[in-house]
């Protein structure tokens, strides 16, 4: 009827797409195995409803800790998904996050409403609950764009790494070959790498130098209006 009030009963949730990288393997994404309905026994992104007295950032950090036992090194809001029917129980709007971690620094531990937590290759994902495949596709697109202008890839590497490892990481994320000479020239020109006294032997070639990421240099350049451009 005209002039009648419509009731609103919408719940707010958070979900996180956390990417990880193992050297010389495809990009990985963190999934949890649900132990409650709907989709009990199925795989999904870690996440859940936001508590009444909880900020969004606090909610996603809590869910990641409870369901997978991790604290991402990098975490930012990705997108809001709120299509009608995305959750068969009720109307749920999900504020999603993009996270990056180095898996070697995080031991997964499922708890809360998750039976298990595992890393899955981005090209070999199981069938996912809700609209989580769409969320992952959106996150991957964002990551592939973001890594072209902000050095977030360093969050996926060990503290000390060979240049070839950085190169393989970028190639893995963008999903295609890169111009190796141009890539190295640009990375080195920014002064973002600190050369160490250590070397790493790979294959039959000469041992390669090891590097660390110079976060202070990046912050300094960022404050000056620096644009990390690798296209």
Same-domain pairing of 17 and 112: yes
User: Residue 129's domain spans which residues?
Assistant: 11-146
Phi, psi of 210 (to 5 degrees): -100, 150
Does the residue 137 lie in any domain? yes
Same-domain pairing of 25 and 116: yes
Does the residue 228 lie in any domain? no
Choose one of 96, 123, 146: the last residue of a domain.
146
Does the residue 42 lie in any domain? yes
Nearest alpha carbon to residue 78 among 99, 65, 97, 100: 97
Q: pLDDT at position 225, please?
A: 82
Mean pLDDT, 10 residues at a time, the chain of 231 residues: 74 98 91 95 97 98 96 95 95 97 92 91 97 98 92 92 93 90 92 94 82 93 82 65
| Total domains, the chain | 2
Same-domain pairing of 137 and 91: yes
Does the residue 74 lie in any domain? yes
Same-domain pairing of 217 and 142: no
Does the residue 229 lie in any domain? no
Same-domain pairing of 133 and 82: yes
Same-domain pairing of 87 and 181: no
Same-domain pairing of 59 and 111: yes
Q: What is the CATH number for 206?
A: 1.10.10.10
Same-domain pairing of 94 and 183: no
Same-domain pairing of 25 and 46: yes
The three-point CA angle 15-148-105 to 5° equals 50
Element (H, E) at 145: helix 132-146
Same-domain pairing of 162 and 138: no
Going from the C-alpha of 89 to that of each of 31, 32, 38, 42, 181, the distances in angstroms are 21, 19, 8, 16, 53
Sign of the CA dihedral 181, 185, 186, 188?
positive
Same-domain pairing of 53 and 140: yes
Same-domain pairing of 76 and 116: yes
Going from the C-alpha of 163 to that of each of 158, 166, 175, 180, 192, the distances in angstroms are 12, 5, 18, 11, 12
Choose one of 112, 146, 180: the last residue of a domain.
146
Does the residue 3 lie in any domain? no
Q: What is the CATH number for 127?
A: 3.90.79.10
Q: Using omega within 30 degrees of 0 as the cis cutoff, is the peptide bond preceding 75 cis?
A: no
Choose one of 146, 173, 204: the last residue of a domain.
146
């Amino acid at each position: 009827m005209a002039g009648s009030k419509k009731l609103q009963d919408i719940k707010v949730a958070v979900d996180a797409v956390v990417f990880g990288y193992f050297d010389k393997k495809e990009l990985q994404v963190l999934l949890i195995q649900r132990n409650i309905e709907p989709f009990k026994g199925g795989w999904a992104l870690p996440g859940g409803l936001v508590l009444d007295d909880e900020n969004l950032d606090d909610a996603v950090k809590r869910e990641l800790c409870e369901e997978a036992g991790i604290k991402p090194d990098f975490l930012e809001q990705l997108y809001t998904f709120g299509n009608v029917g995305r959750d068969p129980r009720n109307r749920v709007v999900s504020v999603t996050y993009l996270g990056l971690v180095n898996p070697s620094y995080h031991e997964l531990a499922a708890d809360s409403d998750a039976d298990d937590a595992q890393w899955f290759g981005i090209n070999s994902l199981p069938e996912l609950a809700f609209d989580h495949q769409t969320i992952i596709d959106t996150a991957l697109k964002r990551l592939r764009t973001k890594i072209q202008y902000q050095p977030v890839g360093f969050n996926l590497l060990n503290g000390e790494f060979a240049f070839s490892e950085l190169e393989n990481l970028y190639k893995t994320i963008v999903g295609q070959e890169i111009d190796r000479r141009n890539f190295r020239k640009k990375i080195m020109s920014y002064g973002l790498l600190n050369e160490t006294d250590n070397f790493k032997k790979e294959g039959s070639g000469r041992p390669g130098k090891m590097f660390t990421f110079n976060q202070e240099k990046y912050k300094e350049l960022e404050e000056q209006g620096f644009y990390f451009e690798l296209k």
